Structure 1
Amino acid sequence: MRVVVVGAGYAGTIAANRLAKKVKSAEITVINPRPDFVERVRLHEQVAGTSAAATPLTSMLREGITTRLDTVDKIGDGQVALGDGSSLDFDHLFLAVGSTVAPLQGTVPVGTWEGAEEARAALAGLPGGRAVTVVGGGLTGIETAAEIAFGRPDLRVRIVGQTIAASLSAGAQKRVRTGLDRLNVEIVEDSVAQIDPGAGEGGGDRVLLHSRPQFTSDLTLWAIIGGVPDLAARSGLEVDADGRAVVDEHLRSVTDPRIFVVGDCAAVPGARAACATAMPQGAHAADTLARVIEGRTPEPYSMGYTGQALSLGRRDGLLQSGRRDDTVRRLYFAGRTAAAAKERVCRYAKFGARTAIYSWLRGPK
């Protein structure tokens, strides 16, 4: 049985490893554009130079799994068309291409490996006293701004977003502000209208806001997730309004049941883009295929959240308690203990992807 996994992020890696563990006869090929497994939850650390986010796939995938370094142009009728002009046949396929970004012109995206590396190099060459602007008030933007301010206290760091930490409770939002203030991060609640590279004072970027005066930024980083790659749509799979592949209760494409779709690119009701979502989906899809091969009835996918976690530099963090349906509670924890807990969450996600050992809560009834 030939199985192809497109994408080696959290969802794709755990799916490949879990299936290899459960179905010894499966010939599994993982297609990825780079030779590394990238911990997206550590990209802000990669940017700031406080940690590394890449691990060779050779140390992440089980023995016997074949790795193909390439891009995928199209999927259809049991075949994968690769970027180099060749193709691969499959009996089953896991589509796990994640999400992508659509940065405003003049900014550097931090949500991709390539963007994070560009941002790291630019930040490393920035003299002290210069201004760094992070666009995006979500958790990615907060962690990026905090990590840079922690690692480079000689820089002037600001974060721009209409609402800072909107996904958290009111009390947690206030605590995030306190954490950013301790790191001397300026908070600008507004949205960016335009970036004029090199048009600001001293040759920096001129940042135009919708309702506040403009300012100059020497490095402007984009920390907003923009959508998903168009591979599913380009391949003729049914997608929703956001381009995510529509799946059934077992995470199979409603267009082609041979194709499982997992992670950010799957249109699963109530799911948000996170490794906490990708890991259960990848594992469940692999379990489902194993059940089908064994002639057993597959179980519907079910997953519940526990909350959200973010770092505020290396010595501060926040854990937001949540319900299984991902709505937040008033309860949260912050400080060094929360930072240590966030680090454990990141390590567990990587451990789970590599070993295929991972557990999660069932969804709300």
Structure 2
Amino acid sequence: MSHSSAAESSSSARHSSLNVAAAEVAEQFPGTNVTVLSRDRPGWMMSEPARAYLDRALERLGVRVRSGVEITKVLPDGVEPAGGEIVPAASVVWTTGFHVPPLAADAGLAVDERGRIRVDATLRSVSHPEVYAVGVAAAIRQSWGMIHGTCQSGIPTGAYAADAIDARLRGRTPKPFRFGCIHQPVSLGRRDAVIQFTRADDTPRRFYLTGRLPILYKQTVSSGPPHFFRMSKRVNLPPAVLSARGGRANRNGGAQGGHRAARTSRRQRIVSSAPGPAASAVSSGSTISPVDGSTTRASSGRPVRRCTSSSGCPSG
């Protein structure tokens, strides 16, 4: 008997769940008709080579993909996309993501447009400092943007909030929370997977893994939380052990406003105090934009020639 599974998704986390479910069903139940219905192309958050590998894996497993579809209803015997078409399905996996309940808003806490608690750089509510928010309940901004809800961020925010509370009870001021994404792991059945490594803001890097090695990688990552929890009973694990911190550009975490202005002012002073009109010294890897609109790139604090060519500066 042929069955049909339909799934719908949009964000990177939901797309990972969608592809995992589709591949798992197709592999475990050969002959089952599995159809993916999605707003975006599966793997849209990945690099082109990793996305191509994902496409080939789904094709190998016999998974049909329909992109550009918006699901409006889940029915007893299928789903209804926008437009009124009925897609029959004996089983439906609907990866809709996270929704914040109205508890925080009803309690009078300041929330954003999605109902998440607005927090400062140490994850305290901006309206009720005695309240801490973590995971998908919190609107946490870093230098690179807003954190989206996954276990990658949920576990570190919980660990950080506990440490921040402890620090304040001891009379210390906790440092701002820092976080950066590191990967997008997608299982493709039990014998294949693709791991897309990412920048802090979850955009893809060039490096990715495919085949059997990513399976071991993903199993290790997924089985990690219970081990870390047992270990944390014996030794305090700082949040930095549990996640990336977003790199040097994110060294102040969510406390960006004043710090960014201070860095901008500092760079302007460096430019104005440079030894000559065609030279300046900045810290390693920095990029500055002088008043004349040209760009100066330097490494290790060495003076460099300022490029004023309208066609752009040569690398190095």
SS of equivalent residue, structure 1 residue 338? helix
* Structure 2 counterpart of 1:166: 44
2:59 to 181, 199, 202: 181
* Structure 1 counterpart of 2:3: 130
Q: Residues of 1 paired with 2:226 and 2:156: CA distance? A: 13
Partner amino acid, structure 2, of 1:293: L
**Deviations, residues 269-322 of structure 1 (Å, cap 9, x unaligned):** 221211110111111111111111112221111112212112111111111111
* Structure 2 counterpart of 1:276: 152
After TM superposition, the structure 1 = structure 2 runs for residues 138-217 of structure 1, keeping only pairs within 5 Å, are 138-163=15-40, 164-195=42-73, 197=75, 204-205=77-78, 207-210=79-82, 214-217=86-89
* Structure 1 counterpart of 2:242: 359
Q: Residues of 1 paired with 2:223 and 2:74: CA distance? A: 39
Larger Rg: 2
1:264 to 128, 136, 151: 136
Partner amino acid, structure 2, of 1:236: G
> Of Structure 1 and Structure 2, which has the larger fraction of its residues in strand?
1
- How far the C-alpha of 1:180 sits from its partner, in A, is 1.3
Q: TM-score, normalised by structure 2?
A: 0.68
How much is the aligned-residue C-alpha RMSD, in angstroms? 2.1
- How far the C-alpha of 1:346 sits from its partner, in A, is 0.3
Q: Residues of 2 paired with 1:273 and 1:327: CA distance? A: 15
Q: Structure 1 residues 238 and 190 mapped into 2: Cα distance closer, same or farther (>3 Å)?
A: same
Q: Structure 1 residues 193 and 360 mapped into 2: Cα distance closer, same or farther (>3 Å)?
A: closer
Structure 1 gap ranges (5+): 1-127, 199-203
* Structure 2 counterpart of 1:81: none
**Deviations, residues 18-49 of structure 1 (Å, cap 9, x unaligned):** xxxxxxxxxxxxxxxxxxxxxxxxxxxxxxxx
Q: Structure 1 residues 363 and 194 mapped into 2: Cα distance closer, same or farther (>3 Å)?
A: closer
After TM superposition, the structure 1 = structure 2 runs for residues 97-108 of structure 1, keeping only pairs within 5 Å, are none
Q: Residues of 2 paired with 1:197 and 1:210: CA distance? A: 13
* Structure 2 counterpart of 1:227: 99
Q: TM-score, normalised by structure 1?
A: 0.59
SS of equivalent residue, structure 1 residue 184? coil
Q: Residues of 2 paired with 1:225 and 1:196: CA distance? A: 15
Q: Residues of 2 paired with 1:343 and 1:335: CA distance? A: 13
Q: Structure 1 residues 226 and 192 mapped into 2: Cα distance closer, same or farther (>3 Å)?
A: same
Equivalent residues of 1:158, 1:188 under 8 A apart = yes
SS of equivalent residue, structure 2 residue 223? helix
After TM superposition, the structure 1 = structure 2 runs for residues 66-105 of structure 1, keeping only pairs within 5 Å, are none
Q: Residues of 2 paired with 1:181 and 1:325: CA distance? A: 29
Equivalent residues of 1:170, 1:330 under 8 A apart = no
Q: Structure 1 residues 160 and 352 mapped into 2: Cα distance closer, same or farther (>3 Å)?
A: same
Q: Structure 1 residues 215 and 304 mapped into 2: Cα distance closer, same or farther (>3 Å)?
A: closer
Q: Does 1:333 align with 2:209?
A: yes
Q: Does 1:320 align with 2:196?
A: yes
Structure 2 gap ranges (5+): 250-316
Q: Residues of 2 paired with 1:263 and 1:132: CA distance? A: 30
**Deviations, residues 214-259 of structure 1 (Å, cap 9, x unaligned):** 5321222211214212211111110001110000110011121111
Q: Which segments of structure 1 move beyond 6 Å, counting only runs of 4 or more?
A: none
Determine which structure has greater relative contact order: mean sequence separation of CA pairs < 8 Å that are 6+ residues apart, divided by chain length. 1
- How far the C-alpha of 1:196 sits from its partner, in A, is 6.9
Q: Structure 1 residues 298 and 226 mapped into 2: Cα distance closer, same or farther (>3 Å)?
A: closer
Equivalent residues of 1:308, 1:319 under 8 A apart = yes
Equivalent residues of 2:98, 2:149 under 8 A apart = no
**Deviations, residues 68-116 of structure 1 (Å, cap 9, x unaligned):** xxxxxxxxxxxxxxxxxxxxxxxxxxxxxxxxxxxxxxxxxxxxxxxxx
Partner amino acid, structure 1, of 2:18: G
- How far the C-alpha of 1:354 sits from its partner, in A, is 4.3
After TM superposition, the structure 1 = structure 2 runs for residues 8-87 of structure 1, keeping only pairs within 5 Å, are none
Equivalent residues of 1:135, 1:220 under 8 A apart = no
2:186 to 307, 310, 315: 310
1:248 to 113, 120, 132: 120
Equivalent residues of 1:317, 1:335 under 8 A apart = yes
Q: Residues of 2 paired with 1:141 and 1:190: CA distance? A: 15
